[in-house]
Amino acid sequence: MNKVAIITGGGSGLGQSTALRLADENVNIVVVDVKEETANETVDLVKEKGVDAIAVVADVAKKEDVQKYVDKTMEHFGQIDYFFNNAGISGSGGQFLDTDVEEIEKIVGINLLGALYGVRYVAEAMLKNGGGSIVNTSSSAGVIGQDSVVTYSATKHGIIGLTKSMVAEYAEQGLRLNAIAPGPTETPMVKEFFDNNPKMKESAESGIPQKRLGTPEEVAELVTFLLTSPAQYINGEVIRIDGGFTNTK
């Protein structure tokens, strides 16, 4: 029987690339996204690879929507083996004291509360079936401080705390959680951010030892390894995938 993975933010970027990569491993996919059109696009691409997939439209900042995507998964597939807890937004790129409170609340709602709700309801379902594997998306801004993304950085530091603390509580019951910390990567979210803040793109590229942005496909390889790896002793780790960016800070 195929394993089943839920991917939030699965309509584009890291989520879509990971859905396609997991499909190559014969994993059935639940694509969660706030946009129905992009979620369905990923579902169609995944099904072309010969596995089953469904789309669930959800705002991860709303706990009832998170419960909905878990319930829909259990109704359709009856199990959850893997969870890529990935949905997130970056913000406008302004200085923190110039940032509207409404923007702060939105970023925290999607990036941090959405991740917390996801782990809360998905892990509950996983543990009823003996456990599962979760990868949370942090960021290079989750392991170092970065200007112009204060709220985003705070939420991504929080993702690491969530990952490590859940392992402390639930590893014995069969739960594995790891986090990834991507540097600047060629996703629609990052492109939009750099389009609005072109000087930051120049700064980012020059500060990466490999002198280029990462690709979603490279990140998808890491996520797939962490989710599906027979190396079950990898637990509570934060894996940087940033071309050496944070190693120079």
Query: Rounded to whole angstroms, how far apart are CA atoms 159 and 168?
Result: 14
Q: State the CB neighbour count (10 A cutoff) for residue 249.
A: 10
- How far apart are alpha carbons 64 and 60 in whole angstroms? 9
Question: Coil, strand or helix: which one is 102?
Answer: helix
Residues facing 135 on adjacent strands? 84, 178
| Cβ neighbour number for residue 190 with a 10 Å cutoff | 21
Can 117 be counted among the known catalytic residues?
A: no
H or E element in which residue 182 lies: strand 175-182
Active-site position among 82, 152, 170, 233: 152
- Which DSSP string corresponds to 119-179? HHHHHHHHHHTT-EEEEEE--GGGTS--TT-HHHHHHHHHHHHHHHHHHHHHGGGTEEEEE
Please check whether residue 26 is in contact with residue 51, taking contact to mean a CB–CB distance below 8 angstroms. Answer: yes
Separation of alpha carbons 28 and 50, rounded Å:
9
CB neighbours of 189 closer than 8 A, spacing ≥ 6? Answer: 12, 13, 88, 89, 90
Catalytic sites, residue numbers: 152
